[in-house]
Structure 1
């Protein structure tokens, strides 16, 4: 597969806290991931935007992170540690960029991402119905 000009986004939860602490690792994860992707030296930094969002409802599995792409499945991962998982996140960014539909098996995902997937959401498809069909 070849890399396309598809726009990708990585979204990191900035509300997640380690249990029993006020530590919010999302901001650190964003900084480290941006730096790692910039240092990767290939085109992934041209197609990926990295941003934070206040909550992704993964509170029991901090820190949560999502990969989104145009016409691609979306992945939500939990239990991400900025100190340990950056290499796997960059590897998955490369892999995800190369997947036409974003779909991959858990065994194909790098390292810890094989077991920390919280959701894989199929690409959104807009369904159009003829108004006559709806009325009948």
Structure 2
């Protein structure tokens, strides 16, 4: 897989025991399978215990090799699957992962928590530096 979508499984709706991350994982995997296009072959969906977005459940990250990583919050498994799928298609086609907020579909324009540049390694006179 060239790309990953990681979903927080610890996020809870305020004042409840509801952890919507597991439901979101199942729904997004099903939507990707049903899509039957490049998304199916290119993306892996998995969960992680915490992404430090507790105030904005569900938290979802898109990351790929040599690409910027995106972190989105306030994602609802009932209403945001199509936006997540549309962003997967867009992200797969972006060479470096960078796009304007105007290019992000629907709700993802307003729920971006972070865009993190791809990690780059540089070798400088025998030293390896991460940037």
Q: TM-score range by the shorter chain?
A: over 0.9
Residue-by-residue CA offset, 1:5-53 (whole Å, 9 max, x unaligned): x700000000000000000000000000000011012121111000000
Alignment partner of 1:48 is 2:43: yes
Alignment partner of 1:10 is 2:5: yes
TM-score (norm 2): 0.94
Tell me, in whole angstroms, the C-alpha distance in 1 between the residues paired with 2:126 and 2:38: 44
- The Cα shift of 1:131 comes to 4.2
Q: Comparing both structures, which one devotes a greater share of its residues to strand?
A: 2
Match of 1:65 in 2: 60
Alignment partner of 1:75 is 2:57: no
Match of 1:90, SS? helix
Gaps of 5+ in 1: 1-5
TM-score (norm 1): 0.91
Tell me, in whole angstroms, the C-alpha distance in 2 between the residues paired with 1:80 and 1:17: 12
> Quick one: which of 75, 93, 100 aligns to 1:98?
93
Match of 2:104 in 1: 109
Tell me, in whole angstroms, the C-alpha distance in 1 between the residues paired with 2:111 and 2:103: 13
Tell me, in whole angstroms, the C-alpha distance in 2 between the residues paired with 1:56 and 1:128: 31
User: How many residues were matched structurally?
Assistant: 127
Residue-by-residue CA offset, 1:64-108 (whole Å, 9 max, x unaligned): 000001100000000000001000000000000000001000010
Higher radius of gyration, 1 or 2:
1
Query: Where has structure 1 moved over 6 Å in runs of 4 or more?
Result: none
